[in-house]
Amino acid sequence: MPSVNKVVLAYSGGLDTSVIVRWLQDTYNCEVVTFTADIGQGEEVEPARAKAEALGVKEIYIDDLREEYVRDFVFPMFRANAIYEGEYLLGTSIARPLIAKRLVEIANETGADAISHGATGKGNDQVRFEMGAYALKPGIQVIAPWREWDLTSREKLMAYCESHNIPVDFANKKKKSPYSMDANLLHISYEGGILEDPWAEAEEDMWRWTVAPESAPDKPEYLELTFEKGDVVAIDGEAMSPATVLETLNKRAGAHGVGRLDIVENRYVGMKSRGCYETPGGTVLLPAHRAIESLTLDREVAHLKDSLMPKYAELIYNGYWWSPERLMLQKAIDESQQCVNGDVRVKLYKGSVSVVGRRSNESLFDEKIATFEDDAGAYDQKDAEGFIKLNALRMRIAAQKGRNLK
């Protein structure tokens, strides 16, 4: 076992991380620094301070990272239109590099030689936390208790609390949700319980941010989103900070049942996992961003971006936010967004988001050329004949040679 003097723990104040504090103190005989991040999970984070103090922690960090999270992580990802395996908007994945970054910063500030987290050995989060930490501080030690201890069930964790005098209210001894949940400003995820059966429908009372689409208002709601360089900066003409944009979209879209997702995904560690997600704001942002790009991006730039997106999304999902290839892709993506400016109007209704209008001073849409009416000579339709023949040339030659196209 390596020698550890001080370790920074990503601390929520719940059962697992409360046990980890004491386990680190006892197992490694080290000082523990706790770090609690407010990234918009919708719960008070300040109570974590009292819980950490009761466990003997002297250095306690509680940081409001909501604006940084949306500005520097969520928005750059949405500039890429990133979506994993055709459906998942990467709500958990994109929060992890920020937490890893802050863990390393606190380790540097406090002179800690290790970091620790409560991710299990079966999931993706262990990879994301640790890949980020190693990229930012190559010599950092990582302690992952779930890969070391034998506390493999909630009952064993509760027994540990009782035997080590960890206050039971800090360990959430009261009735627990049957689901493993993780929330931040972009989404809330649900795993476990009946969701472990891919055939079982999620219970209606599981969902927290969205109403059932069939119970949503019968009247649609319209929103107007203003984009600057690919990011939303105002809603209905009201300027907003990045975090406020996402908070507002979550509330207004969630009220119309927008943003529910039920998928089986391929984890990086090799297994398939069924999860349910609520991402109301992100479910509006993605089509709205694509709509403003449809006006302002050159065709080949747009198509190249689309071809790069699956790789970009996979990098985020697998924990490579701080990798040189993601940084390289981000520079190209951000360069493409310089003219992605304008307004998009969307309609929210019964669980759906529809783009119903878009406008931009940077628009490449030319009504004179696109019109089905008289274009006054703006486009010579005779030019299409040569265009078609040149593009068909290779196929015509192959056919003349008797190539079998069936």
Residues noted as catalytic: 16, 96, 125, 180
DSSP H helical segments within 231-382, as ranges? 242-254, 280-296, 299-318, 324-336, 367-370
Reading the block at residue 359, the tokens are 């406008």
Q: How far apart are CA 28 and CA 11, in angstroms?
A: 17
Q: Which of 360, 354, 314, 308 is nearest to 334 (CA)?
A: 308
Specify the amino acid at residue 384.
A
Specify the amino acid at residue 314.
E
DSSP element (H, E) containing 142: strand 141-143
Long-range Cβ pairs for the range 159-164 (8 Å, 24+): 160/19, 160/22, 160/23, 161/15, 161/18, 161/19, 164/22, 164/26
Reading the block at residue 29, the tokens are 């005989």
Q: Which residue has the tokens 């209905």?
A: 236
Question: In this structure, what are the phi and psi dihedrals at residue 77, rounded to the nearest 5 degrees?
Answer: -65, -40
